[in-house]
């Protein structure tokens, strides 16, 4: 494994809830590669305490911020800049939540207030993080911003309901802001479309085990783990990917381009 890919780089990592979180794994890998960062999560998630242990392990601080609240993001950036002593090279948006999914509402019975909350938390917060970064001018030239998506943005997964629409919006925001930030500061913006992963957000989706196992059987490389996703994020924060922007990058063991696998064919042969 390469070393010090992120030496001298600083940034912000959102979304580390517990040791299964993609953001948690990312924090450890960024540290391993010499990067420095501030951790942040919604105040309610911080009360669970685990993130403070991660902060200790990474010699950093946690700053509470609800990613849907512009003033919270402003405060986060100001305090993080003071702590890190520099503008940011990278931002990780690793945030998702749907009240409709949490409360088991079907796609034909959405509570629209909750749907707005899903879009705000899971997608518009990505725009907010970038708009505030632009207005406060806290991104360094050639910085890198990454959000996390899922293939339900392109294909139907019935139990993903309003999160599918949120992910489509998230990917669109990556293109829109990628263009803008590229022109302004050579900052790149991408989303990673990750395999189903056993985290709090992932396993909260109805039928998660079935589509996790299905994806495992379909993908030639199997499902990509949270650890592997963290490696990919590190590569996108590094200088090795400076010309990659406005992309939705599938990190899924080949799932997105596989029609059928022998394993799936076997399961259907005697029907």
Under the criterion CB under 6 A, does residue 35 sit at the interface with ligand NAD?
A: no
Q: Segment contacting ligand NAD (CB under 6 A): 13-21, 132-140, 238-246, 256-264?
A: 13-21
Cβ proximity to ligand NAD, 15 vs 178, nearer residue: 15
Cβ proximity to ligand NAD, 17 vs 187, nearer residue: 17
Q: What is the DSSP string of 52-116?
A: HHHHHHTT--EEE--TT-HHHHHHHHHHHHHHHTS-EEEEEE-----HHHHTT--GGG--HHHHH
Interaction pattern, residues 196-235, with ligand NAD; x per rule: CB under 6 A: xx-xxxx---------------------------------
Cβ proximity to ligand NAD, 6 vs 226, nearer residue: 226
**Residue 21, CA distances (Å) to 37, 146, 151, 229 in order:** 17, 15, 18, 11
**Secondary structure tally for the chain: helices H, strands E:** 12, 7
Give the separation between CA 254 and CA 239, rounded to whole angstroms: 25
Query: Which parts of 117-176 interact with ligand NAD (CB under 6 A)?
Result: 121, 148-150
Cβ proximity to ligand NAD, 69 vs 136, nearer residue: 69
Cβ proximity to ligand NAD, 51 vs 140, nearer residue: 51
Q: In what order do the strands lie in the sheet with 88-93?
A: 62-64, 36-41, 10-14, 88-93, 139-149, 188-194, 248-251
The CA-based angle 106-16-61, given to 5 degrees, is: 145
Interaction pattern, residues 40-69, with ligand NAD; x per rule: CB under 6 A: -xx--x--------------------xxx-
H or E segment at 251? strand 248-251
Under the criterion CB under 6 A, does residue 15 sit at the interface with ligand NAD?
A: yes
Q: Which residue is nearest to ligand NAD (CB)?
A: 202
Cβ proximity to ligand NAD, 55 vs 95, nearer residue: 95
Give the separation between CA 195 and CA 94, rounded to whole angstroms: 14
Q: What is the DSSP string of 119-180?
A: HIIIIIHHHHHHHHHHHHT-EEEEEEEEEEE-GGGTS--GGGHHHHHHHHHHHHHHHHHHHH
Closest distance between ligand NAD and the C-beta of residue 141, in Å? Answer: 27
Closest distance between ligand NAD and the C-beta of residue 82, in Å? Answer: 20
Interaction pattern, residues 80-99, with ligand NAD; x per rule: CB under 6 A: --------------xxxx--
Q: Kindly list the residues in this chain that would bind ligand NAD in the complex (CB under 6 A).
A: 14-15, 17, 21-23, 41-42, 45, 66-68, 94-97, 121, 148-150, 194, 196-197, 199-202
């Amino acid at each position: 494994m390469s070393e010090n890919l992120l030496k001298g780089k600083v940034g912000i990592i959102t979304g580390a809830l517990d040791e299964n979180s993609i953001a948690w794994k990312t924090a450890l890998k960024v540290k391993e590669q010499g990067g420095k960062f501030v951790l942040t999560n919604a105040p309610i998630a911080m009360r669970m305490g685990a993130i403070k242990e991660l902060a200790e392990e990474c010699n950093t601080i946690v700053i509470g911020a609800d990613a849907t609240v512009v003033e919270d993001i402003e405060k986060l950036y100001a305090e993080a800049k003071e702590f890190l002593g520099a503008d940011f090279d990278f931002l990780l948006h690793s945030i998702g939540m749907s009240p409709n999914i949490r409360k088991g509402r079907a796609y034909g019975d959405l509570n629209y207030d909750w749907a707005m909350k899903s879009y705000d938390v899971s997608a518009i917060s990505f725009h907010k993080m970038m708009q505030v970064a632009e207005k406060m001018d806290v991104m360094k030239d050639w910085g890198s911003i990454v959000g996390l998506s899922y293939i339900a943005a392109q294909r139907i997964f019935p139990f993903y309901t309003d999160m599918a629409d949120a992910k489509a919006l998230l990917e669109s925001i990556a293109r829109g802001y990628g263009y803008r930030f590229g022109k302004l500061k050579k900052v790149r913006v991408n989303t990673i479309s990750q395999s189903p992963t056993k985290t709090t957000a992932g396993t909260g989706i109805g039928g998660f085990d079935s589509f996790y196992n299905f994806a495992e059987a379909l993908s030639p490389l199997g499902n990509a783990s949270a650890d592997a996703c963290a490696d990919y994020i590190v590569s996108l924060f590094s200088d090795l990917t400076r010309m990659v922007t406005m992309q939705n990058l599938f990190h899924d063991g080949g799932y997105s381009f596989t029609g059928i696998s022998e394993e799936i064919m076997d399961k259907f042969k005697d029907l």
